[in-house]
Amino acid sequence: MFLDQFPSSVKLSASECPVIFDFQTFLPAQFHGSPFGTDDLLYLADEASVDRMVVMPAITSRPDNASLAASIRSTDRLVGCAAVNPASGKTAVDELEESIQLGLRGLRLSPATHQFEIDDATVDPLMEIALRQNIPVTTESCSQHCSPIQVANLADRFPDVNIIADVGFRPVAPPVSLGQPEPPAGRIADQALDRPNLFLGLTALATAETYLIKRILDTISVDRLVFGSNAPTSIPCFSIGGVRQANLGEEAEALFLGNTLSGIYNLI
The per-residue pLDDT for 108 is 98
The answer to whether position 5 is within a domain reads no
pLDDT of residue 4: 47
Question: Which pLDDT band holds residue 216 (cuts at 50, 70, 90)?
Answer: confident
Domain count, the chain: 1
Residue 229: pLDDT over 90 = yes
pTM: 0.89
pLDDT of residue 76 exceeding 60, the answer is: yes
3-state secondary structure of 156: helix
The CATH code of the domain that includes 81 is 3.20.20.140
SS3 182: coil
Q: Is residue 8 part of a domain?
A: no
Of the two residues 120 and 171, the one the predictor is more confident about is 120
Q: What is the pLDDT of residue 137?
A: 99
Q: Specify if 149 maps to a domain.
A: yes
pLDDT at 213: 84
Q: Which domain holds residue 142?
A: 20-264
Per-residue pLDDT tens over the stretch 138-185 = 999 988 899 999 999 999 999 999 999 998 655 445 445 455 666 656
DSSP state of 122: G
> Is 159 within the bounds of a domain?
yes
* Position 12 in a domain: no
Q: Residue 98 belongs to what H/E stretch?
A: helix 90-101
Residue 203, domain member (yes or no): yes
Q: How many residues does the chain have?
A: 268
Tell me the C-alpha distance between 139 and 89, whole Å.
Answer: 18
Please tell me the predicted confidence (pLDDT) of residue 207.
58
Contacts (Cβ under 8 Å, ≥6 apart) of 60: none
Residue 10 in domain: no
Whether the CB-CB separation of 22 and 52 falls below 8 Å is answered with yes
**Is 236 a member of any domain?**
yes
Largest CA distance in the chain: 48
